[in-house]
Structure 1
Amino acid sequence: MNHFLVAESETPEEREARRRYVGKSAGETYAATLRQLAPGCSIELVEPADEGAPSFRPDELKRYDAVFLSGSPLHVYQKTPAVERQLDFMHAVFRAGTPSFGSCAGLQVAVAAAGGSVRPMPQRMEAAISRRITRTAAGHDHLLLHGRAPTWDAPAVHTDEVERLPEGGIHLAGNDVTNVQAAEISHERGIFWGVQYHPELSLREIAVALRRQAATLIEAGLAEQEEDVEGRSVLLERLHYAPQSRSLRWMLGVNGEFADETGRRRELNNFIAALPAIDRR
């Protein structure tokens, strides 16, 4: 039975706000998804960015089969106490050698902890659908992307991106908006696999995120008015409940890599399946 640790990257205020809108914090969404992908697994949730949160020693983290880092509104280039605590946690994960996986801000935390850099996106935002993600040469045979189509779309909501991978980082996939969409990082004793998009999220959760950030989407030039955001959100919600709908796939311009839950979760499934091999490295 797998024993997983899920690290919330949100602040307490953001966790409560997300529970009001979605019903779960980002970490709770991760835990629910992992329970579906690995039935019988045991999961602990921690909040390492919180003030007063207990710190983890590397030897304590060794008892987990994997660590997962959720998305977050934190900006890792802002050296706030919450960010520093999150980075300290990731340093301990790397020193422990426990395999780890993160999406969106989770990828960014791992990059910064290993010595890379993160920046605000020059094009301001990638939201709802990350389009035309493609493998790099290094990503062609990497197990993280096993089974992926040559080009795929994925759920995404982010205003920051990886600027530079650290030493020991392998660039696995990107698109014309965000160069680093998937990466492996080898640092100290640890191996991290991560993506800039959100394989753990449902399309309903993406729709809620768009509504909450409607003003930001308009400011970024991705929508002209709130009605545009609402229209896209409605289509995503409808696809959530009817993923096989040809008309909804056509209106959103997606295929099964995005519409089907199995397609969206491919990287998480691949990571869990590869854990025995990662742990032996």
Structure 2
Amino acid sequence: MLHLLVADGNDRDGRARHADATGSTSAESYAAILGEVARTRGGAACTCTLISPADADAVLPAGTDLSAYAGLVVTGSTLKLADGTPETTRQIALMRAALAAGLSVFGSCWGMQVAAVATGGAAGPNPKGGEYGFARALAPTRIGRGHPLLAGRPDRFDAPAIHGDAVLRLPAHATLLASNACSIQAIEIVHGPGVFWGTQYHPETDLDALGIMLRMSASEMIAAGQCPDAAAVAAFADDLARLHADRAGHPDLLARHRLDAQITEDANRRREIGNFLDFLAVPRRAAA
């Protein structure tokens, strides 16, 4: 049994907005995906404890510390690291503490940006622009092609993505595992006794949830020139909801949005999450 700590990257307002829109917080939905991936892969089962490190009163359950967990998973967020608010600096502190405690950490989008900043890198608004909907033409590096995080991924693939910020400078002891024309897309950071794996894209996000998140980010999409107006954002989100419900019945939508099995098949889309769970199942300290 793997006991994981899942950290919600949003502050109170962000969690409430996400729950109102999707029916659950980012941490709740991520924990559900972790459990589903663990079950479908037939490996070690997992249980999740949820924490909201943006909050000043966030604490671990009584009688536990970070050593009680096999790993930490950090979700996405609507926060901006460049703002330097207490809600962001508390999460940087948690990341540093987890790595110092020797944990294996996985982060999507915001989680990867937090890890980069916590270990000496930089993150902020991407001068190349954001990605809303899908990160296209992701290419593993030479090292990435042999790295267990990307095991099972082809030489080029697309993935769900929704971000305006990105990792701008890798920290020391970081390895670039995948990128595209827009940004750094997958990395490993070895920091003290801890190790971080992360993606700028969202392997945890199903197409219906992605559509809802796009609706929530409509103003950013329009400002970035990726949709002309709110009606176009809504139409895009509607298409994703239809594909989630019945991808086989909508070959026209698959073609319109240039989506293949790397996006539509759960096992492919969630590949990095399953690979991380497999990694956790092998005791690193004992293996070393």
- The answer, yes or no, to whether TM exceeds 0.5 is yes
Q: Distance in 2 between matches of 1:278 and 1:78?
A: 37
Tell me which of 181, 191, 194 is aligned to 2:185: 181
Q: Which residue of 1 aligns with 2:23?
A: 23
C-alpha distance after superposition, 1:256-275 (max 9, x if no partner): 00111111100000111122
Q: 1:198: how far off?
A: 0.5
Structure 1 SS opposite 2:69: coil
Residue 239 (structure 2) pairs with residue 240 (structure 1) = no
Amino acid at match of 2:219: A
Q: Distance in 2 between matches of 1:107 and 1:196?
A: 6
Q: Which residue of 2 aligns with 1:99?
A: 104
Given that residues 51 and 60 in structure 2 are in contact (C-alpha distance below 8 angstroms), is that contact kept between their aligned partners in structure 1?
no
Residue 72 (structure 2) pairs with residue 84 (structure 1) = no
Q: Distance in 1 between matches of 2:217 and 2:78?
A: 12
Q: Which residue of 1 aligns with 2:42?
A: none
Q: Distance in 2 between matches of 1:182 and 1:97?
A: 21
Q: Which residue of 2 aligns with 1:210?
A: 214
Structure 2 SS opposite 1:181: strand
1:1-281, aligned counterparts within 5 Å?
A: 1-39=1-39, 40-54=45-59, 60-178=65-183, 180-244=184-248, 245-277=250-282, 279-280=284-285, 281=288
Q: Which runs of 4+ in 1 moved over 6 A?
A: none
Amino acid at match of 1:49: A
Structure 1 SS opposite 2:135: strand
Q: Distance in 1 between matches of 2:128 and 2:227?
A: 14
Q: 1:276: how far off?
A: 3.7
Structure 2 SS opposite 1:62: helix
Amino acid at match of 1:20: D
C-alpha distance after superposition, 1:220-257 (max 9, x if no partner): 11111112111211111111112334332112101000
Structure 2 SS opposite 1:102: strand
Q: Distance in 2 between matches of 1:279 and 1:73?
A: 33
Given that residues 2 and 281 in structure 2 are in contact (C-alpha distance below 8 angstroms), is that contact kept between their aligned partners in structure 1?
no
Given that residues 126 and 156 in structure 1 are in contact (C-alpha distance below 8 angstroms), is that contact kept between their aligned partners in structure 2?
yes
The percentage of aligned residue pairs carrying the same residue is: 37
Q: 1:124: how far off?
A: 3.1
Q: Distance in 1 between matches of 2:247 and 2:186?
A: 25
**For the structure 1 residues 45 and 264, does the alpha-carbon distance in structure 2 shift closer, same or farther, using more than 3 Å as the test?**
same
Amino acid at match of 2:46: C
Unaligned runs of 5+ in 1: none
Given that residues 99 and 278 in structure 1 are in contact (C-alpha distance below 8 angstroms), is that contact kept between their aligned partners in structure 2?
no
Structure 2 SS opposite 1:97: coil
Structure 2 SS opposite 1:199: coil
C-alpha distance after superposition, 1:162-197 (max 9, x if no partner): 01111010000011111x100000001100100001
Q: 1:41: how far off?
A: 1.8
Given that residues 129 and 182 in structure 2 are in contact (C-alpha distance below 8 angstroms), is that contact kept between their aligned partners in structure 1?
no
Given that residues 191 and 278 in structure 1 are in contact (C-alpha distance below 8 angstroms), is that contact kept between their aligned partners in structure 2?
no
Amino acid at match of 1:17: R
Structure 2 SS opposite 1:131: strand
Given that residues 158 and 263 in structure 2 are in contact (C-alpha distance below 8 angstroms), is that contact kept between their aligned partners in structure 1?
yes
Q: 1:55: how far off?
A: 6.9
More deviation, 223-232/133-142: 223-232
Q: Distance in 1 between matches of 2:138 and 2:50?
A: 31
Q: 1:66: how far off?
A: 1.1
Using the size of structure 2 for normalisation, the TM-score is 0.93
Given that residues 145 and 267 in structure 1 are in contact (C-alpha distance below 8 angstroms), is that contact kept between their aligned partners in structure 2?
yes
Q: Distance in 2 between matches of 1:76 and 1:215?
A: 20
Structure 2 SS opposite 1:122: coil
Q: In angstroms, what is the RMSD of aligned CA positions? A: 1.5
Q: Distance in 1 between matches of 2:277 and 2:149?
A: 10
Given that residues 124 and 168 in structure 2 are in contact (C-alpha distance below 8 angstroms), is that contact kept between their aligned partners in structure 1?
yes
Structure 1 SS opposite 2:81: coil
